[in-house]
């Protein structure tokens, strides 16, 4: 669906900066457009709050801009180019245009090649470790927030639900409940680094098994899914192609009790690196700043 630049940039005096603007995705909070930035001659995505959004959601997007500005040079974090303010006061982020999401690489219940999945886990563990060292928790780690660049490398995105470590200021609830949401967020608890470990491990589980650990069955209500997340243990991945130690690692990282998970992404990456070594695969470097 093509969208004329004036449809969303009307009166913002920015229409001469982008061309070929089109709608990519309209959500309940943000709208995502694609366009070509004329001066830089590059294709970008432009993320803006919906027109009827509340002011606090504008603050959320500004927070995302600050986070990306501080860690966006990481090779496995989506590249942040600039922020803008539209005439009606809404902020807009200009970000790297990626080829597709990691979720798009999954087809039905077919898993991703094991070596590729483990390498993605290590790379994005480094992105999360860097995020944590910057004093931020992502809080929404899942395949749809992991993109693949034109250079076929994974990058972490979707920082609009991120929170500052130890933040004391009240903030409206942001967390969308998905099959990858940690139990403590389902129960409206405070996130910790182990919350992002859960999200990354849940994503790896889906990449390796071809399905989410707590996917909804046909006819199952959302409440029933949430109850399983809170009360059930994660079923191990039983497959001749999946090393037992990898299944055990993911089961450990998906413990409903945050205190019983690996303490941080770097720890998870180290364990994944040991699996690479034992399988005789090339080692993937975890990069953390």
Is the domain of 211 the same as that of 271?
yes
Same-domain check for residues 275 and 263: yes
Lowest mean pLDDT: which of 52-61, 129-138, 167-176, 204-213? 167-176
Mean predicted confidence (pLDDT) in 11-15: 46
On the 0-12 / 13-18 / 19+ scale of CB atoms within 10 A, 61 is buried
Structural domain contains residue 287: no
Do 153 and 239 fall into the same domain? yes
Residue 258 phi, psi dihedral angles, 5° rounding: -55, -30
Is 285 within the bounds of a domain?
no
Residue 77 in contact with residue 127, Cβ under 8 Å?
yes
Q: What is the mean pLDDT of residues 27-44?
A: 91
Give yes or no for a contact between 30 and 47, defined as CB atoms under 8 angstroms apart: yes
Among residues 144, 129, 229, which one has the least CA distance to residue 182?
229
Q: Which pTM does this prediction carry?
A: 0.91
Q: pLDDT tens digits, residue range 252-284? A: 999 999 999 998 999 999 999 999 999 999 999
| Mean of pLDDT values over 240-247 | 96
* Domain span holding position 218: 100-279
pLDDT tens, position by position, 62-108:
999 999 999 989 999 999 999 998 878 889 999 999 999 998 887 76
124 and 250 share a domain?
yes
**pLDDT for residue 16:** 74
Q: 210 and 110 in contact (C-beta within 8 Å)?
A: yes
Measured distance CA(137)–CA(135) in Å, rounded: 7
- Using the predicted structure, report yes or no on whether residue 172 has a pLDDT greater than 60: no
Confidence class for position 28, pLDDT limits 50, 70, 90: confident
Domain's final residue, options 76, 96, 116 = 96
Q: pLDDT category, 4, cuts 50, 70, 90?
A: very low
Task: Read off the DSSP letter of residue 107.
Answer: B
Q: Do 173 and 33 share a structural domain? A: no
* CATH (domain of 151): 1.10.510.10
Number of domains in the chain: 2
Q: What's the helix, strand, coil split of the chain in %, to 5?
A: 40, 20, 45
19 and 87 together in one domain: yes
CATH code: domain of residue 27: 3.30.200.20
What's the CA gap between 64 and 271, in Å, rounded?
Answer: 30
Domain boundary among 43, 73, 96: 96
pLDDT category at 168 given cuts 50, 70, 90 is low
Tokens 């780690």 — which residue?
A: 141
pLDDT tens, 202-233? 999 999 999 998 877 767 777 777 777 777 77
Domain limit, last residue, from 55, 72, 96? 96
Same domain, 73 and 126: no
């Amino acid at each position: 669906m093509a969208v004329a630049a004036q449809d969303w940039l009307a009166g913002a005096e920015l229409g001469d900066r982008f061309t070929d603007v089109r709608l990519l995705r309209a959500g309940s909070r943000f709208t995502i457009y694609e366009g070509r930035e004329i001066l830089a001659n590059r294709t970008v995505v432009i993320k803006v709050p919906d027109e009827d959004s509340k002011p606090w959601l504008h603050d959320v997007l500004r927070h995302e801009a600050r986070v990306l500005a501080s860690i966006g040079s990481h090779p496995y974090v989506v590249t942040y180019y600039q922020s803008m303010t539209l005439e009606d006061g809404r902020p807009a982020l200009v970000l790297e245009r990626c080829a597709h999401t990691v979720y798009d690489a999954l087809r039905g219940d077919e898993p991703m090649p094991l070596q590729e999945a483990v390498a993605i886990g290590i790379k994005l563990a480094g992105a999360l470790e860097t995020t944590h060292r910057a004093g931020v928790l992502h809080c929404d780690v899942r395949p749809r927030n992991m993109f693949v660049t034109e250079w076929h490398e994974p990058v972490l995105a979707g920082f609009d639900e991120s929170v500052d470590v130890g933040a004391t200021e009240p903030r409206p609830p942001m967390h969308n409940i998905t099959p990858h949401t940690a139990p403590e967020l389902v129960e409206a608890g405070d996130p910790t680094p182990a919350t992002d470990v859960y999200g990354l491990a849940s994503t790896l589980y889906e990449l390796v098994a071809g399905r989410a650990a707590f996917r909804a069955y046909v006819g199952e209500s959302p409440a029933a899914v949430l109850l399983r997340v809170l009360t059930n243990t994660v079923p191990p991945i039983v497959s001749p192609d999946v090393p037992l130690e990898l299944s055990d690692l993911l089961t450990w990282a998906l413990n409903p009790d945050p205190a019983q998970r690996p303490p941080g992404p770097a720890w998870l990456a180290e364990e994944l690196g040991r699996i690479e070594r034992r399988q005789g695969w090339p080692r993937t470097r975890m990069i953390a700043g």
